[in-house]
Amino acid sequence: MASNATDYIKHHLTFWNSDPSAGFWSLHVDTFSISLVLGFLFAGVFAMVARRASIEAPGRLQLFVEMIVEMVQTQVREVFHGKSKMIAPLALTIFCWVFLMNFMDLFPVDLFPMIAQWIGYAFFGMEPHHVYFRVVPSADVNATFAMSLSVLILIVGFSIKAKGLGGWGKELLTAPFHSSNPIGAIILAPLNFAFQLVELAAKPISLSLRLFGNLYAGELIFILIALLPWGLQWVLGAPWAIFHILIITLQAFVFMMLTIVYLSLAVEAH
Annotated catalytic residue 264: no
Out of 138, 148, 159, 214, pick the active-site residue: 214
pTM above 0.85, yes or no: yes
Q: What is the dihedral of CA 228, 232, 238, 243, to 10 degrees?
A: -70
Q: How many residues does the chain have?
A: 270
Question: What is the 3-class SS of the chain, one letter each residue?
Answer: CCCCHHHHHHHHCCCCECCHHHHHHCCEHHHHHHHHHHHHHHHHHHHHHHHCCCCCCCCHHHHHHHHHHHHHHHHHHHHCCCCCCCHHHHHHHHHHHHHHHHHHHHCCCCHHHHHHHHHHHHHHCCCHHHCCCCCCHHHCHHHHHHHHHHHHHHHHHHHHHHHHHHHHHHHHHHCCCCCCCHHHHHHHHHHHHHHHHHHHHHHHHHHHHHHHHHHHHHHHHHHHHHCCCHHHHHHHHHHHHHHHHHHHHHHHHHHHHHHHHHHHHHHCCC
Instruction: Please give the radius of gyration of the chain, using alpha carbons only, rounded to the nearest integer.
Output: 23
| Beta-carbon count within 10 A of 201 CB | 11
Instruction: Per-residue pLDDT tens, the chain, 270 aa: give them.
Output: 556 888 999 999 999 998 776 666 788 999 999 999 999 999 999 999 999 998 888 899 999 999 999 999 999 999 998 888 899 999 999 999 999 999 999 999 999 999 999 998 888 788 888 899 999 999 999 999 999 999 999 999 999 999 999 999 999 998 888 888 888 888 899 999 999 999 999 999 999 999 999 999 999 999 999 999 888 888 889 999 999 999 999 999 999 999 999 999 999 865
- Domains of the chain are 78-164+183-269 (1.20.120)
| Beta-carbon count within 10 A of 26 CB | 15
| Beta-carbon count within 10 A of 176 CB | 12
Side chain identity at 223, as an amino acid letter? I
Out of 17, 142, 179, 210, pick the active-site residue: 210
Annotated catalytic residue 52: no
Out of 21, 206, 208, 264, pick the active-site residue: 206
46-81 as b/e, with b when 16 or more CB fall inside 10 Å?
beebeeeeeeeeeeeebeebeeebeebeebbeebbe
Q: Which of 3, 17, 7 is nearest to 131 (CA)?
A: 17
> Residue 73 and residue 89: Cα distance in Å, rounded?
9
Annotated catalytic residue 210: yes
